[in-house]
Chain A
Amino acid sequence: MIRYTIRRLLAVLPTLLGVTIIVFLFVHLIPGDPATAMLRENAPVEVADRIREQLGLNKPWFINLGEVNCPQQDPNVKSTTGGVFMTYHNCDKFGWFAALRYWQPRLDRPFDSQYLLYASKLLRGDLGQSLVTKNPIMDDLKLKFPATLELSVMAMLVAVGIGIPAGIISAVKQNTPIDTASMFISLAGVSMPIYWLGMMAMMVFAVWLHWVPAGTRLGNDIEIHRITNLYILDSLLTGNVKALGDSLKHIILPALVLGTVPMSILARMTRAAMLETLNQDYIRTAKAKGLAQRVVILRHALSNALLPTVTVIGLQVGGLMGGAVLTETIFSWPGIGRWVFESIQFRDYPVIQNVILVIALLYVLINLIVDLSYAVIDPRIRYT
């Protein structure tokens, strides 16, 4: 088990490295570069150069192998950009061969590159700052992440609480109208855009029926003592019944909407796994020895059928984080998903980049935990 764990941990390292490289490359996929993207079209070149220097974009991306000094064409225009391995001076009008002709190798500081700077900052927990609010991204993340966490946990509760029982019932009552109905609902669940479901639900339950408030986490008039920023937990800890009721009322609709996809997938998975186990010999034996139907289904079939379901729950967390961007946008939920949406509007590249990074890291971590816990539950996995 220890050997399996260590091997699995080591296997994650290249993935983590790759994830940071891809997220780093997002910024370099921008046509031109972030500096020109941020400015208006005919901004002076010097301004773009100054921004490049501020953001460190004048350094090479990965390894510093020196500089390429092209002959200056226009005495008024100077430019400096970072290439993959070298820094380019005034090379706008030269093709790729400029690197061959004008390269001045300098190998004394190979690690002075954008990626290594970014990676070393990441290791220190520094995610840079937002271009719009100038706040450190880490500080905003600490404020907004609990909102997303709370929503995701509630959505997962919805998904597990409805999806798994629905799957069991479908399998036990295979090919009855109940089965058909629940399988149709789950197929519809994976087929509809969740933000559309969210908007329709909001229209019906908030705008027409006024059962629940439309959007946000808490009513304006409710006081809450913030400890963890998970409002439900906070109100429970401080015994604030009013805040608890209000935050539950706010969360129910977004949680149902966000939970729809994992719920549908869980229902289908559970049904398939249950059908497979129900056909096993030991189930027939259990029935033959006169056990009650309940006991056979819950103890003998379900506990075996749940193994694949555990993996699926883990995998769904990633989808949940993706769905959070859309769901939070609809419900004005102040979490990291809505933050990504707002940053897209303002072209706040560092925020988009780093929030995606954080989510991907979380996803990798959760998958690792699922893998390890799977090995604990099912000894066959530890194939060492």
Chain B
Amino acid sequence: MANIRAVRPDKVLQRKRISPWNDALYRLIRSTNAQVGLGIVIFLVLTAVVALVFWPYNPRIDSDLVNRLKPPSWASPRLDEKPGPGYAFFGTDDQGRDVFRRVVHGAPISLQVGLVSVSFALAFGSVLGLIAGFAGGRTDNLLMRLMDILLAFPSILLAIGIVAARGPGLNNTILAISVVNIPVYARIARSTTLSIKEQDYITAATCLGASDRRLIFRHVLPNSLSPIIVQGTLSIATAILEAAGLGFLGLGAQPPTPEWGAMLADGYKYLTIGAWWVLLFPGAAIMLTVLGFNLLGDGLRDALDPRMRGVGRM
């Protein structure tokens, strides 16, 4: 009895307030998919940082033609000559380069391609979509027609066309993948803008005399962010996959850059003699990376879905 009297009534009725973002974060770290995905992504970022900072690599002076295409082993063919782990436990490639080292150094390249190209696409696409959704009418019609035209191409083919015309290389790969992804964001941003525009709080803000700029940046943009974030994570996955595909076709990063797709293209020549290690490891690295971002994206989608808010906790 004494306990009950000691508690103030307003405290009893009050539920702990959680901001939507904190709630999403809470649900994100509780989902298994997201945990695994986040784990993989963090692992890759760490690998990239370690590779860049602590284990410098110059692919131009790395060939060692005596030890060409050696299968994976714990006994290093060149234990004393090179810095870093001396074991070629991923084997060596057609120029005697350590496959493990090249796979590790492929991580920063792929992450860079994924992040940069998606950031560009996200920035341009969302702005276009916001403009289209907000302006409506002719502007909307024209912009969305343009986006439809870009979407009429299978994405990898449009990317191939752009890179083939602009010339092979990592920068043009990034450019092509950005262009290919712009319509995706434009569509998402437009559809969320359209639905948000009809909300009562927008009408209220308009009545209070808010300018268009204030409406866009204070109300529409923050509220349309979550589907864009989810799509962003998922498109990093496809961007990495597409960049590797372009690299494989000889359009992306040029040799001797240790890009995973280009490494696969090198290894393809030795498929018939059974040199499986030059193929298995770069491909597995691509798969792990893409899987990580896909899982994280799926987890984010569930976490940011407002219909799921507060599920599983009270």
Q: Give chain A's interface residues, CB within 8 Å of chain B.
A: 14-15, 18-19, 22-23, 26-27, 29-31, 187-188, 190-193, 195-197, 199-200, 202-203, 207-208, 214, 318-319, 321-323, 325-326, 329-330, 340-341, 344-345, 347, 349, 352-353, 356, 359-360, 363-364
Contact = CB atoms under 8 A, between A and B. Distances in A.
B153 A363 contact: yes
A191 B161 contact: no
A193 B157 contact: no
Contacts of B274: 203, 207-208
A368 B95 CA distance: 50
Contact of B145 (A18, A26, A363): A18
B167 interface: yes
B149 A326 contact: no
A194 to B, nearest CB: 9
Contact of B287 (A31, A192, A353): A192
Nearest to B148: A15
Interface string B122-166: 000000000000000000000001101110111111101110111
A78 B239 CA distance: 44
Contact of B165 (A15, A26, A214, A341): A26
Interface stretch (B43-51, B209-217, B288-296): B288-296
Contacts of A322: 154-157
A187 B150 CA distance: 27
Task: Name A's interface SS.
Answer: helix
Contact of B271 (A197, A203, A347): A203
Contacts of B157: 321-322, 325, 340, 356, 359-360
B154 A190 contact: no
A191 B149 contact: no
Interface in B249-288: 249-251, 261, 264, 267-268, 271-272, 274, 276, 279-280, 282-283, 286-287
Contacts of B304: none
B245 A29 contact: no
A354 to B, nearest CB: 11
A193 B244 contact: yes
Given A191-B291, A329-B249, A360 B145 contact: no
A26 B161 CA distance: 6
Contact of A15 (B149, B272, B282, B290): B149
Contacts of A202: 271
A22 B180 CA distance: 12
B289 to A, nearest CB: 9
B174 interface: no
Contacts of B118: none
Nearest to A22: B149
Nearest to B298: A187
A188 B164 CA distance: 29
A193 B241 contact: yes
16 contacts: A18-B149, A26-B162, A31-B166, A187-B295, A192-B286, A193-B245, A196-B264, A199-B264, A200-B280, A207-B274, A325-B249, A340-B157, A352-B161, A360-B152, A360-B154, A363-B154
Residue of A22, A30, A330 with highest tally of chain B CB at under 10 A = A22
Contacts of A27: 165
Contacts of B161: 23, 26, 352-353, 356
A382 B129 CA distance: 26
